[in-house]
Amino acid sequence: MDNTTTVRARDITLSGKRMHFRKGGTGPGLLLLHAAWGDAELSWSSVWDELSRSYTVIAPDLPGFGQSSPLLKPALPSFARELKELLDAEQMDRVSVVGNSFGAAVAIQFANDFSSAISRLVLVNGGYMPSIPLPIRTLIGLPIVNQGFRWFIRRLTFSLQTLKRSFADPARLPSGFFKKIQETAFAYSNISFDVVMNMTEPLLKPAVPTLLLWGAQDGLAPLKQARALQKWIPDAKLITISGAGHMPQVEHPQEFVAAIMKMTK
């Protein structure tokens, strides 16, 4: 592959904080937002070079993930502002946004806050983020209760059992994939937990063209969740990838890239 289609690592300082990201390619802008299981490399390295043949790909480590500095108070609006600052610094005025799992919720927030900067939205096996009522958030905020909830959420979403049922065929995954996720489980589950706890109101329905791109054999976010999202976003189109789970771009990268290109071209 020649250098024009190679996605390269970069760093930038935004509001005094470091953001690590990958960027490369030519063509329309494509912002890739990763899952809470890891950084941009874990979620997107299987497809970003191929996508960069047709797009200017930019794939950041979200704040607190990978090599990016954490936020003092992790929250979806703060993530969206950091991403807008990154796009402005890189002179990317309008992009298609692809978010996987946790990154799908970030993508919806970005679409709500900066609709003029987004041409299309692609939600990959994610998008739902609960808004917890204040009395319950107050209860969960109690130290003993809080630690118990953090342990429960980490076990629910990062355990080996959960990981195995989230993929159609774990044999298709890169070597050491589950081990890498579990090595950062404590830190990354805490960030995603804090984001939920810091939500004061539910996400608004995005008002941009939206594709739901779903691995059909996802045991963590099953197809019924995609159909519920489609009812919430009535104009959204649903495409399923058979034989794939929570990260279809990893299990079936060629089908994933083809679906992205069909939607965003």
Please say if the pLDDT value at position 210 is more than 80: yes
Q: What is the CATH number of the domain that holds 91?
A: 3.40.50.1820
Is residue 23 a part of any domain in this protein? yes
At residue 129 the predicted structure's pLDDT band, cuts being 50, 70 and 90, is: confident
Put the strands of the sheet holding 17-24 in their side by side order: 8-14, 17-24, 56-60, 29-33, 95-100, 118-124, 210-215, 237-241
Query: Is 107 inside any structural domain?
Result: yes
Extract the tokens encoding 207.
């008002």
The answer, yes or no, to whether residue 264 has pLDDT greater than 80, is no
Q: What is d(CA 79, CA 89) in angstroms, rounded to the nearest whole number?
A: 15
Question: 96 lies in a domain?
Answer: yes
Separation CA 31–CA 242 (nearest Å) = 24
Name the pTM for this structure.
0.95
Structural domain of 102: 3-129+202-264
How do residues 65-110 score in pLDDT, each as one tens digit? 999 999 999 999 999 999 999 999 999 999 999 999 999 999 999 9
Contact 248, 220 (CB under 8 A): no
* Residue 82 within a domain: yes
In a domain, 69, yes or no: yes
For residue 141, the 8-state DSSP code is T
Task: Flag whether 11 is in a domain.
Answer: yes
CB contact at 8 A, 106 and 76: yes
Does residue 85 lie within any of the structural domains?
yes
What total of structural domains would you count in the chain? Answer: 1
Determine the Cα–Cα distance for residues 147 and 140; give it in Å rounded to an integer: 9
**C-alpha span between 52 and 1 (Å, rounded):** 11
What DSSP line would sit under 78-122, residue for residue? HHHHHHHHHHHHTT--SEEEEEETHHHHHHHHHHHH-GGGEEEEE
pLDDT tens per residue across span 17-62: 999 999 999 999 999 999 999 999 999 999 999 999 999 999 999 9
In-domain check, residue 143 = no
